[in-house]
Amino acid sequence: MRDREKARQRAKELVAAMTLEEKASQLRYDSPAIPRLGVPAYNWWNEALHGVARAGTATSFPQAIAMAAAFDRELMGLVGDAIAVEGRAKYNAHSRQGDRDIYKGLTFWSPNINIFRDPRWGRGHETYGEDPYLTGELGKAFVEGLQGEGEYLKAAACAKHFAVHSGPEGLRHSFDAKAAPKDMGETYLPAFEKLVKEAQVEAVMGAYNRTNQEPCCGSKTLIQDLLRDKWGFKGHFVSDCWAIQDFHENHMVTDTAEESAAMALKAGCDVNCGVTYLHLLKAYEDGLVTEAEITQAAERLFTTRFLLGLFGQTEYDQIPYSKIECREHLELAGRAAAESVVLLKNNGILPLRKEKLKAVGVIGPNANSRAALVGNYHGTSSRYITVLEGIQELVPEAVRVYYSEGCHLFRDRVEGLAWPQDRTREALAVAENSDVVILCLGLDETLEGEQGDTGNSSASGDKPDLKLPLPQRELAEEVLKTGKPVVVVNMTGSAMDLRFAQEKADGVVQAWYPGARGGKEIARILFGELSPSGKLPVTFYNDAGELPDFEDYAMKGRTYRYFEGKPLYPFGYGLTYGEVAVVSVSCQGRVFQAQGGNGDAPGRQGQGWQVTEPGEVAADIEKGLALTVSVRNDSPVATGEVVQVYVKDMDSALAAPGGKLCGFARVYLEGGGTKEVAISLGRDAFTVVNQEGVRTIDGSRFLVSAGLGQPDERTRELTGRGGIVFSVCREKNR
């Protein structure tokens, strides 16, 4: 168990020996050395969203949104641990050579636990999706894996961007995200609270924007009142990069750099990613900050450095360089890629049978694209396996693999002097000579990502709508006209308008950004070596016109909890090659059985919820509820699955109309296999958040659904299956 108090005392003693100038210098992200005290230089800025990033070779895991689609806490913990091991291996090697450059430290500014409330947001693929509960659970597992359980922190995680941040990217430096207390407490804050209270995340990063008028990196309300005083956060707070400069240049809440530095420091921001804290000494001279405030921030930062063991020996000092991209980590990345793939449509074409094929056509701008593998905030892989390469390696030599880029990712031609759509005829020739076509479409980090990091300058990294770029839409239309069987593989980090694929393609696969070697796992799934088992962590809408204004941070009309329309693909949805169903649920001594053997049930309750059996279970919901869910695979195909439990408050006007995810568990079933899964619902499953932002129990009757997706009409329409839905009433106090 780590001794924070001991680390704090050592930090206090060290900082006490520093001059004011030395203390202030340590509040920069690029903290200089203090040779007289034996303090080496340290750069706080490192990234590990889905692998150690921007510092050379490292294992490349699928992008965060892809790993979220696995709905797998254990996987996230293992990925976090692998990243920490590789981070330590790099740190050990670099520090021995005196290399203390950016991206070489052990303070990783990950995970991004903002809520992906709008699919147009370019950075949404850095998150774990649209649901606060899923985000909190996966974020907690990742942080615990990254930070480890040893005497010292294996690495320091950072929950970002606190607290209300999800676009628009082009406005973020001046934007005020207005969020009502109910939306704050129900949607934007829970994951941060969980990571602080339950995972003891070591750092929190503020957002660029303002939240309810206060700049996030200088918000007393967010940093001091909520994060430190109410939640008891003990770690350090870091600004987003150059965000404090925005106070006076864009938000216009201060007039000078000195005032901005003072505002951030007084609010509790300890380290400045940027240059504004270079003005701290002038702010001190002007009486805007005190030496005690500078000292306090420095002590917090050195507490973290002592917790990492950077001034002595630790159990991690001997982690060898050979752990980087080791076989164990590469296998884990493969598992993550496989679990993340979501099968959206299958008319029976999948899995493909190698023995029945003579030629496979692989078409599309993402078929052989390395950029489409890695998302953003990525490291370097020593090897990349695209979808094309994965298929080429998998099929027998007797099967011919034809390839055409088909079109440019977004421009109207591949060659600058050519006619528009200069690869279309080649693509059609490939289709005509193939038994089946794998059409690889989508985006990459040049079209969706962070402002300044993308080539999508007109939208600053955000998407203007949910449509694929026009050249890809035109290509898809032509290929789908050929009459050949077509499987669309969509490689994006966000929900897209895939109505054309759902209507006309034989199969549709959401492959996300699967990591540097992810093409291998996609090929294995297409050809049946593995069954797809991912579930959507976001809602796929039909069109952006169904959504509220992008700048509106109210949750009404957003995500599965509040969307009132019929989605293209619902949150939690995903097919497999097996035939898995929830067959029974045990709760409070009652056993609820699926009807008709597949979970379908009569008795409409609104929003698609249907009660499987009459009668109610009485429970003391203050103590939560324990379920045992039995699942059975009625096919010979082994597959992973995700059991999902949703709760709907039937009494409270404050409850989300679509219910909410309150429990999940990933299971693996052999062909014909049955398993029982224990899922515990905490008290929060039965709570609502009122207009003042206070979480409370406001109802006495609830519907609980245990299934393989939501209990909504669209999920049932797409899968032919429902879950088991039963009633729970609040047990009266005795």
Catalytic: 30? Answer: no
Dist. CA 340–CA 327, nearest whole Å? 20
Dist. CA 330–CA 352, nearest whole Å? 26
Identify the pLDDT of residue 722: 87
Q: State mean pLDDT over 466-477.
A: 98
DSSP bridge pairs for 586: 591, 628
What Å distances lie between residue 510 and 222, 331, 344, 442, 563, CA to CA?
A: 37, 21, 7, 10, 22
Length of the chain, please?
734
User: Is the pLDDT score of 613 beyond 90?
Assistant: no
What Å distances lie between residue 281 and 93, 103, 208, 264, 269, CA to CA?
A: 35, 27, 24, 14, 16
Sign for the CA dihedral angle at 416, 421, 425, 430 comes to: positive
User: Is the pLDDT score of 606 beyond 70?
Assistant: no
User: Is the pLDDT score of 459 beyond 90?
Assistant: no
Dist. CA 118–CA 134, nearest whole Å? 16
Q: State mean pLDDT over 582-596.
A: 91
Which pair of tokens denotes residue 65?
A: 């949104």
Q: Do 378 and 336 meet the contact criterion of CB atoms below 8 Å apart?
A: no
Q: Which of 490, 487, 533 is nearest to 506 (CA)?
A: 487
Identify the pLDDT of residue 600: 42
Provide the 10 A C-beta neighbour count for residue 21: 11
Dist. CA 485–CA 349, nearest whole Å? 8
Which pair of tokens denotes residue 405?
A: 């880029």
Contacts of 689 (CB under 8 A, 6+ apart): 182, 185, 186, 654, 695, 696
Angle at 246 between CA 243 and CA 248, to 5 degrees: 140
Sign for the CA dihedral angle at 85, 87, 89, 95 comes to: negative
Question: Which strand (E) or helix (H) includes residue 490?
Answer: strand 486-491
Which DSSP symbol is given to 103?
Answer: T
Least confident window among 85-99, 440-454, 509-523 = 440-454
Identify the pLDDT of residue 601: 39
pLDDT in tens, 627-655: 999 999 999 999 999 999 999 999 999 99
Identify the pLDDT of residue 2: 87
Angle at 245 between CA 244 and CA 250, to 5 degrees: 105
Identify the pLDDT of residue 599: 41
Q: Which residue has the tokens 């692989």?
A: 362
Angle (deg, nearest 10), helices 327-340 and 518-526: 50
Q: Do 307 and 152 meet the contact criterion of CB atoms below 8 Å apart?
A: yes
Identify the pLDDT of residue 460: 81
Which pair of tokens denotes residue 89?
A: 């291996």
Question: Which strand (E) or helix (H) includes residue 510?
Answer: strand 507-510
Dist. CA 485–CA 352, nearest whole Å? 11
Beta strands in 28-129 (DSSP E): 30-31, 42-43
**539 three-state secondary structure:** coil
> What's 674-702 look like in SS3?
EEEEEEEECHHHHCEECCCCCEECCCCEE
**Could you please report the per-residue DSSP string of 406-457?**
-S-SSSS-SSTTSPTTTTHHHHHHHHHT-SEEEEEEE--TTTSSSTTTSS-T
Contacts of 633 (CB under 8 A, 6+ apart): 578, 579, 580, 639, 641, 669, 670, 671, 672, 673, 674
Average confidence score pLDDT of the chain: 96
Q: Do 723 and 599 meet the contact criterion of CB atoms below 8 Å apart?
A: yes
Which pair of tokens denotes residue 116?
A: 């992906």
Which DSSP symbol is given to 249?
Answer: H
Dist. CA 7–CA 308, nearest whole Å? 9
Strands of the 236-238 sheet, one edge to the other: 158-162, 203-206, 236-238
Percent of the chain at pLDDT above 90?
A: 95
Q: Do 439 and 488 meet the contact criterion of CB atoms below 8 Å apart?
A: yes
Q: Is 596 left (phi over 0), alpha (psi -120 to 50) or beta?
A: left
Q: Which of 301, 311, 335 is nearest to 158 (CA)?
A: 301
> What's 179-224 look like in SS3?
CCHHHHHHHHCHHHHHHHHCCCCCEEEECCCEECCEEHHHCHHHHH
User: Catalytic pick from 183, 240, 444, 506?
Assistant: 240
Q: State mean pLDDT over 460-471.
A: 95
Which DSSP symbol is given to 271?
Answer: B
> What's 283-343 look like in SS3?
HHHCCCCCHHHHHHHHHHHHHHHHHCCCCCCCCCCCCCHHHCCCHHHHHHHHHHHHHHCEE
Q: Do 558 and 118 meet the contact criterion of CB atoms below 8 Å apart?
A: yes
Q: Do 118 and 494 meet the contact criterion of CB atoms below 8 Å apart?
A: no
Identify the pLDDT of residue 425: 98
User: Is the pLDDT score of 553 beyond 60?
Assistant: yes
Confidence tier at 733 by pLDDT (50, 70, 90):
low
Contacts of 383 (CB under 8 A, 6+ apart): 516, 517
Provide the 10 A C-beta neighbour count for residue 602: 9
Confidence tier at 452 by pLDDT (50, 70, 90):
confident
pLDDT in tens, 154-164: 999 999 999 99
Dist. CA 127–CA 160, nearest whole Å? 10
Identify the pLDDT of residue 612: 75
Least confident window among 4-18, 445-459, 509-523, 533-547 = 445-459
Dist. CA 379–CA 333, nearest whole Å? 13
Dist. CA 488–CA 253, nearest whole Å? 49
Identify the pLDDT of residue 607: 59
Confidence tier at 208 by pLDDT (50, 70, 90):
very high
Q: State mean pLDDT over 39-63.
A: 98
Q: State mean pLDDT over 206-235.
A: 98
Confidence tier at 597 by pLDDT (50, 70, 90):
very low
pLDDT in tens, 659-708: 999 999 999 999 999 999 999 999 999 999 999 999 999 999 999 999 99
Task: Specify burial of residue 600 (Cβ count, 10 A radius: 0-12, 13-18, 19+).
Answer: middle
Angle at 357 between CA 351 and CA 361, to 5 degrees: 85
Dist. CA 334–CA 532, nearest whole Å? 13
pLDDT in tens, 100-122: 999 999 999 999 999 999 999 99
Which pair of tokens denotes residue 328?
A: 């164990």
Provide the 10 A C-beta neighbour count for residue 58: 27
